[in-house]
Structure 1
Amino acid sequence: MKKLFILVLALILSVASFSKEITVSAAASLKNCLEEIIPEYEKESDNKILLNLGGSGTLRTQIEKGAPVDIFISANKENVDMLIDKNKIKKENSYDFLSNVLILVKSSYSKSEIDSIEKLKNSDVDIAIGNPKTAPVGVYTLQALKNLKIYDTLNSEKIIYAKDVTAVTQYLERGEVDFGIIYDSDKNRMKNPIVIGEFPKDSHDEIIYSLALMNNNKETEDFFNFLKKDNIKKIFKKHGFIVI
């Protein structure tokens, strides 16, 4: 009996030794789809995914300070390029991964009669946007509002800068603002989104999610290849992303 116990224990330890943890730091807007995709991967693999979500700029800063990350998915290319410049990532290990659309959403609690992006001009509404210092959605938003000659007409005291796009949706759902500017994919995470319109693509830089393999080993490549499978691409599309 003792020999059998030792044999079983040795087998368990042997299997465990092949199991690896893969740390993925990803833009907050990827929350829902990654939380659906990761269990599918873990069913097929002995590897375990540790998911860290946040504003891409915040995640990049964590990596710069030495945070152990295997895969970084940024909601823009700039954060990945900055890590390439600092020799944290090899250029050949970065990839254009997904795209998205920028939209204006009205809170279901708002009584505002604004029904188009253009009508934001000279309005006095409460609006939540991403903080450009921590979230790419904020960069795209400021570009769009400025190029459309809207930003300077808004009441600056009523602009709330949120840490990431998830925080923008939370302001909307709690009715703390009239409007929020988010990615099209994020409306799928809301209960009652009222989409006012899409920002013209030429009003801001192209929205590109960039994926970088921080550790170019067998485990990270295994998960990366899993993300490229056709059935997984369908999950990204279901959640409103554009697969490149």
Structure 2
Amino acid sequence: MTGRLLTGLFLPALLLSGGAQAAALTVFAASSLTDAFTEIGRDFDRQTGNRTTFQFAGSQTLRTQLENGARADVFASASDTQFTPLVGKVVAARQVFARNTLTVIVPRGSARVRTLADLTRPGLRIVIAAPGVPAGEYTRQLLAAVDRAGTYGQDYAARFMKNVVSEEPNVRQVALKVQLGEADAAVVYTSDVTPALKARVQAVALPSRFAALTPYPVGVTLDSRSAPQARAFVAYLLSPDGQRTLRKWGFRAAR
């Protein structure tokens, strides 16, 4: 039996086993999940009859909204830093459904940046995510790792940061700066280099020793009014179909 058929049989059965009816679901999700979750939501709703809507933003913004009483059924974060403090208070549990890694993007055709070393060239305009944003956290961890390694000389991080002209509230806005020609380089997730963006930018791969795989946790909220359907959505993310769609949009396997 194929993974698609298994998923098609499993999700309705999961809903029916709890006596649940189709429901309207609200999913808070990191902005880097926009394309993948839009497709996943459409497929999930077609199979289950649910009506899933998404609120995409930086994980830190979504966490703050949830802590201040915003209602959602599912929270999918791009970082444990923004997710783990909510476990047992806002979300019931944590499951990793995907992983991601950083890359550098530059305008298509540009020859100014070919390696990490080029990012410290004087006058280069770099855009990164702000502190607290998962992509911003991971960018700073990357810089610290490069400094520790000493591969690109002393004070690499300081020289890199001198070239930073903007720190954005979510990673999609980081990518947009390069697309609009407002930056010479930016640090984003590999999943942000979507088919549409590839027409305007090119990726500069990071050395594997610095490009750590970062987990994406998800959980059902404690105050969800449609908990069985919310759990079914999480199950779909981990199903063969859900994982296939996530891979299609540049994410790595959950395990």
- Give the TM-score, by structure 1 length: 0.83
What does 1:45-194 align with in structure 2 at a 5 Å threshold? 45-84=48-87, 87-90=89-92, 93-108=93-108, 113-133=112-132, 135-149=133-147, 150-154=156-160, 156=162, 158-188=164-194, 189-190=196-197, 191-194=199-202
Paired residue secondary structure (1:242): coil
Please state if 1:209 is matched with 2:216. Answer: yes
CA distance in 2, matches of 1:234, 1:50: 21
Letter in 1 for 2:218: L
Alignment of 1:189-200 (within 5 A): 189-190=196-197, 191-200=199-208
Q: Does the 8 A contact of 2:83 with 2:217 survive in 1? A: yes
Moved more, 137-146 or 177-186: 137-146
User: For residues 236 and 161 of structure 2, what CA distance do their matches in structure 1 show?
Assistant: 46
CA distance in 2 between counterparts of 1:23 and 1:219 reads 11
Give the count of matched residue pairs. 222
In the other structure, the counterpart of 1:20 is 23
Q: Secondary structure at the match of 1:33?
A: helix
| 2: CA distance, partners of 1:102 / 1:174 | 20
Structure 1 gap segments, 5+ residues each: 1-16
Percent of aligned positions that are identical: 23
Q: The residue matched to 2:193 in structure 1 has which SS?
A: helix
Match of residue 218 from structure 1: 228
Name stretches of at least 5 consecutive residues in structure 2 with no aligned partner: 1-19, 148-155
Tell me, yes or no, if the aligned pair for 1:103 and 1:198 is still in contact at 8 Å.
Answer: yes
Separation in 2, partners of 1:97, 1:132: 24
In the alignment, the residues of structure 1 paired with residue 26 and residue 116 of structure 2 have an alpha-carbon distance, to the nearest angstrom, of 39
Larger relative contact order (Cα-Cα within 8 Å, sequence gap ≥ 6) = 2
Q: Residue type of the partner of 1:59?
A: L
Secondary structure class of the residue paired with 1:97: strand
User: Is the CA contact 2:105–2:201 (under 8 Å) kept in the aligned structure 1?
Assistant: yes
The separation in 1 between residues aligned to 2:102 and 2:83, in whole angstroms, is 21
What's the CA shift for 1:139? 0.4
Q: CA RMSD in A?
A: 2.1
Between 135-144 and 155-164, report the one with greater CA deviation.
155-164
- 1:64-111 CA-to-partner distances (Å, cap 9, x unmatched) read 0000011101001111111127x2223xx211121111101112375x
In 1, the alpha carbon distance for the partners of 2:71 and 2:77 equals: 16
> Which moved further from structure 2: 96-105 or 213-222?
213-222
CA distance in 2, matches of 1:78, 1:158: 24
**2:31–2:57 Cα contact (<8 Å) kept:** yes
- In structure 2, the CA distance between the partners of 1:102 and 1:199, relative to structure 1 (3 Å rule), is farther
C-alpha distance in 1, partners of 2:62/2:68? 10
Larger Rg: 1
Going from structure 1 to structure 2, the CA distance change for 1:199 and 1:71 (only over 3 Å counts) comes to farther
Choose which of 231, 236, 239 in structure 1 pairs with 2:249. Answer: 239
Give the whole-Å Cα distance in 2 for the aligned partners of 1:196 and 1:157.
17
Shift of 1:115: 1.2
Match of 1:13 in 2: none
For 2:72, give the aligned amino acid: V
Instruction: Tell me the CA shift for residue 26 of structure 1.
Output: 0.4
The alignment partner of 1:243 has SS state of: coil
- Contact kept? 1:101, 1:198, Cα under 8 Å: no
